[in-house]
Amino acid sequence: MLSTEVVIIGAGAAGLMCALTAAGRGRRVLLLDHANKPGKKILMSGGGRCNFTNLYCEPGNFLSANPHFCKSALARYNQWDFIALVSKHGVPYHEKKLGQLFCDHKANAILDLLLAECAEAGVELRLNTSVTEIARLESGYQLQTSAGPLACQSLVIATGGLSIPTLGATGFGYQVARQFGHTLLPTRAGLVPFSITEPQLKALCTELSGTSVEDCLVSCNGQSFRENILFTHRGLSGPAILQISSYWQPGDTLHIDLLPHIDLPEWLAAQQRERPNSELKTLLAELFTKKMAGLLAEHWFVSKPMKQYSPGELKAIAEQLADWQLVPAGTEGYRTAEVTLGGIDTREVSSKTMESLKSPGLYFVGEVLDVTGHLGGFNFQWAWASGYAAAQYV
């Protein structure tokens, strides 16, 4: 039976970082993945350019039932450490906005650098390999795999969450955690578009499909994000919507300020004073696209010349635009979600080493843990940081 020091299951962001770092420390590392290629999500990420970290990464950018858990790992391998690795490989990158760092060219530059580091450190990568059984030995673990049995001292689970099954996502990590006595927190799709079924609202979204509104403030459950929203034929998407989806529970109302940069009561009063004969939809076309202005006027208001509105009507218009309230039917689910919220309860994992507090020698890294970042490069930073932390101890 093949015996090695470290087996890592999952050659995604966290598994690759853990592998190259542990092998760099001189450990014998075998990295397994059931997929035919490593790092598929890295290649798909950031619209194909991989938003690999964020300049302003802080623990406050992460959701977890145990918000302190991520602090230690994020401090020990931070955004500057990953930027140094990217720079070492001469990969050109830029800040798109809000501290989000993207490759100038394609996301494969990030995967290639991780694979180059793995190769240099001597990581053995085995693809198309699935693990059917794991048993604990007196010291270490024994695995039955599609390529035969294996034994190792340290076993790292880096199999990610449930998002996008077509990219190789499975619930394997949760299964292993359960087998070794871990508590699982309920999982749900995060950073995901909303679907809308209420007929009138759905018609509005469908008609505006593809239209983006540049600066909106979207709020739910005490959280707000100010960014674009995008109408889709299924409902709503865009960065502000994806961000708030991680805080949304079924039945919750979303509040959307479509014009947070404008004092609407004052603006409407000024229009009524200065352009009394202009129709509302003509004026709204200066703030939105002409099509959107026309549709909003049709769905929400009676469009007429400004001089014909009573103060009460103007107040209602201002309120509708500044606090559009809607209850989505649901999210698009794991099919399109960027991340999985919930997962392995971090209260049963060491925040310093990522080692299981239930089963020595077993480690969990990356998205399989109940740590989920905001949109903007934070999820990869968690993958790098947690993978690096475990690699110091495996």
Ligand X SMILES: Cc1cc2nc3c(=O)[nH]c(=O)nc-3n(C[C@H](O)[C@H](O)[C@H](O)COP(=O)(O)OP(=O)(O)OC[C@H]3O[C@@H](n4cnc5c(N)ncnc54)[C@H](O)[C@@H]3O)c2cc1C
158 vs 295 by CB, closer to ligand X: 158
CA angle 194, 45, 243 (to 5 degrees): 35
CB of 75 to ligand X, least distance (A): 18
CB of 374 to ligand X, least distance (A): 9
CB of 90 to ligand X, least distance (A): 21
Contact 19, 5 (CB under 8 A): no
142 vs 206 by CB, closer to ligand X: 142
CB of 111 to ligand X, least distance (A): 10
30 vs 296 by CB, closer to ligand X: 30
- How is residue 351 written in tokens? 């925040």
Q: How big is the chain, counted in residues?
A: 394
35 vs 86 by CB, closer to ligand X: 35
Q: Residue with CB nearest ligand X?
A: 12
Side-chain-side CA neighbours of residue 387 (13 Å): 31
Residue 231: partners with Cβ closer than 8 Å, 6 or more residues away: 204, 205, 208, 209, 210, 211, 212
- Contact positions vs ligand X (CB under 6 A): 9-15, 32-35, 40-41, 44-46, 50-51, 130-131, 158-160, 163-164, 168-170, 172, 338-339, 366-367, 377-380, 383
Q: Does residue 29 sit in helix, strand or coil?
A: strand
32 vs 259 by CB, closer to ligand X: 32
CB of 67 to ligand X, least distance (A): 18
In angstroms, the CA 334 to CA 316 distance is: 38
CB of 202 to ligand X, least distance (A): 25
143: which strand partners? 134, 150
Of 167, 74, 171, nearest in space to 371 by CA = 74
271 vs 379 by CB, closer to ligand X: 379
Q: Which amino acid is at 107?
A: A
In angstroms, the CA 91 to CA 106 distance is: 10
CA angle 389, 178, 191 (to 5 degrees): 65
CB of 221 to ligand X, least distance (A): 22
CB of 331 to ligand X, least distance (A): 14
Contact 233, 209 (CB under 8 A): yes
51 vs 245 by CB, closer to ligand X: 51
CB of 359 to ligand X, least distance (A): 18
3-state secondary structure 217-265: EEEECCEEEEEEEEECCCEEECHHHHHHHCCCCCCCCEEEECCCCCCHH
Torsion of CA 19, 23, 27, 31, to 10 degrees: 30
Contact 116, 19 (CB under 8 A): no
Residue written as tokens 């995008």? 230
Percent helix, strand and coil across the chain, each to the nearest 5: 40, 25, 35
